[in-house]
Structure 1
Amino acid sequence: MIVSPDMMKSASKATSSVSPLPTVVPTPPTFIHKGDTGSRTLWVVVVLMAVSSLAFYGMAFRVPVQKRLFHIITAFITTFAFLSYFAMAVGDGISYASYTHTESHKHVPDVDHVIYRQIYWARYVDWSVTTPLLLLDLALLAGLSGANILVAIVADIIMILTGLFGAFGQGNDNAKWGWYAWGCIAYLVIVYQLAIGGRDTVAKKDSKTKAFYGSIAGFTLILWTIYPIIWGVSEGAHIISVDAEIVAYAVLDILAKPVFGFWLLFTHDSMSSTSPSVEGFWANGFGESGTLRVGDDNEA
């Protein structure tokens, strides 16, 4: 077959009229992690938790061993928080959770961006230990029964674990927010135990204790209500940066632990008539007879 110049021109025109097919170049994954602000914030909290722990242990030695219950519990709270923040500050207790962000286009296929965000699982280990101890402080102050204390602590642990599971959710928003919903339900159980059960039991105590419990329990519940909001805009919806997440949680943790602890101990020490006394084995060992007694004590 002989190809004439006219045929070659026609073929060239036909070929040039076809536009090239669009191609999608895969994008590398994006890693979201803390910056200088987050690092400095973690170290500041490490120092504050360490100083607070030493102060609480020092305050414990200023009172008889039978009256150190609140002091030791509160000191344990900031001690565990110190260990958790130290781990996060040095780069331990951290992992990454991945999620996909889809970028839509009109004329080309959608592009999926894989994003890896830092998750501080050491923070959840801290909360799983410190928040039950904090609840124990409030429960003993109000005089809650053992059954009520157990329900509150179990609900608290469920709340922390569901937050952890939701934070590590892999690409399934329904499951993530399902964990969040279960955590909120568990939190409502805690609110009921402190606000309703605690109010009923503390009503049997003197007016100073009632007023103090109402103030410090209300303060704690307000702070704890902010935690799930921060979770929702950080680990949940990924709206704020990791640095902003660290700063927000740090402020809440400082208020909920050292500030709470100093308020509790200074006020409690001034109310000697309501100081709980722990006698028997817990104070003197097996060599002394006695029982565990936590309640009103009229001794100085």
Structure 2
Amino acid sequence: MAGNQAVSMNPPNAQENLSTHGSDWLWAVFSIMALSTLLVAGATLMRPRGTRLFHQLAVIVLTTASIAYFSMASDLGATPIAAEFRGGGTRQIWYVRYIQWFINFPILLLVMLLATGLPLSDIVTTIFMSLVIVVSGLVGALVHSTYKWGYYTFGLVSLFYIWYVLLWHAPASSFAAGGVVRRGYYLAAGYFSFMLITYPIAWACAEGGNVITVTSEMIWYGILDILTGPVFLAFFLWELRGVDYEAFGFRSGRYVDNNATAVRGEKAPMMAPAPMVAPQAAPAAAPGPAAASAPEQTV
């Protein structure tokens, strides 16, 4: 089995560690992520240029997840940390998972918020709060004392802000693409917000409280990442299949198309200059005593 070989070649470095069955499960998740990456990449190439933004963001998310799960399935990307509960000992903390979330969490939020009418400042702040959640979770997992729950609290507060933006602030904005995108956003935001609450629960049972084993942790997080990765992105991209990208106001694709001739070394067509029109002279005043006696104006 692939799991047995991976654990044998990369021996665990903690007392609470990944089992061969856990490694087999991670290889299965890696296969799902890699296959999803190939499918979305193929769908991206089939779309016209200038309408690939959301598909390309999905490719980034799925590629990052594939690399992370390849590392975890190979029993790589973990460090031993002293556990706070269950009699002490050390537990594997998978920092490669937090690297994955550090990249994917902001992009998933960006995929949804770009479809709304939120200003850029609100989007940037929401993305920053997602980074606070991931960094707080990583630092808290690496802390072996009770102080880890302080970082857990910082993450929860940031999560409340993201919920506020996804479920209240963003739906109140004006959607540029109209009712079709608004309906799809409601479904996507509700689904994604529900999935977000499950991650802190898993963290509290795994890295935080050391209640469940590392293999159970991998099964839990693997299911969550599949539901918030390939499943969520497939639904979101399907909802956007018939939306006119012109409504979003994206201009990057048009810039590439207009400059394609310059990239090939061809001269771009020159616009004809506007014809010069000579200004018409003012009509001369009729001769007469009135014109002769008119006072001279000073400019």
**In structure 2, what is the equivalent of residue 168 of structure 1?**
142
How far does residue 49 in structure 1 lie from its aligned partner after superposition?
0.7
1:177 aligns with 2:177: no
1: CA distance between counterparts of 2:256 and 2:230? 29
Change (3 A) 1:203 1:161: same
Q: Does 1:95 align with 2:79?
A: yes
Corresponding position: 1:199 with 2:163: no
State the Cα distance separating 1:206 from its structure 2 match. 2.4
Percent same amino acid at aligned positions? 28
For residue 14 of structure 1, what is the aligned residue in structure 2? none
Contact 1:67 1:276 in 2 (8 A): no
* Equivalent in the alignment of 2:283: none
Counterpart mapping for 1:1-300 below 5 A: 31-99=15-83, 113-170=87-144, 172-173=145-146, 175-202=147-174, 205-272=177-244, 276=248, 278-280=250-252, 283-284=255-256, 287=259
Distance 1:36 1:283, change over 3 A: farther
Contact 2:51–2:245 under 8 Å retained in 1: no
Q: Superposition RMSD on alpha carbons, in Å?
A: 2.3
Aligned mates of 1:45, 1:63 — CA distance in 2? 27
Give secondary structure in 1 for the equivalent of 2:211: coil
Distance across 1 between alignment mates of 2:205 and 2:191: 22
Q: Distance in 2 between matches of 1:37 and 1:276?
A: 46
Q: How many residue pairs end up in the alignment?
A: 249
TM-superposed CA distance for 1:274, in Å, is 7.2
What is the distance in 2 between the residues matched to 1:140 and 1:182? 26
Deviations 1:206-245 (A, max 9, x none): 2222111000111001001100000001111111111111
1:175-212 CA deviation, whole Å, 9 max, x = no partner? 11111000001111111121122111255652222111
- TM-score normalized with structure 2 length: 0.77
Contact 1:65 1:283 in 2 (8 A): no
Unaligned runs of 5+ in 2: 1-12, 261-299
Secondary structure of 1:118's aligned partner: strand
Partner residue, 1:23: none
Task: Specify every segment of 5 or more residues in structure 1 that has no aligned partner in the other structure, as ranges.
Answer: 1-28, 103-112, 289-300
Question: How far apart are the structure 1 equivalents of 2:157 and 2:84?
Answer: 28
Amino acid at match of 2:164: Y
Kindly provide the amino acid, as one letter, of the partner of residue 99 in structure 1. Answer: A
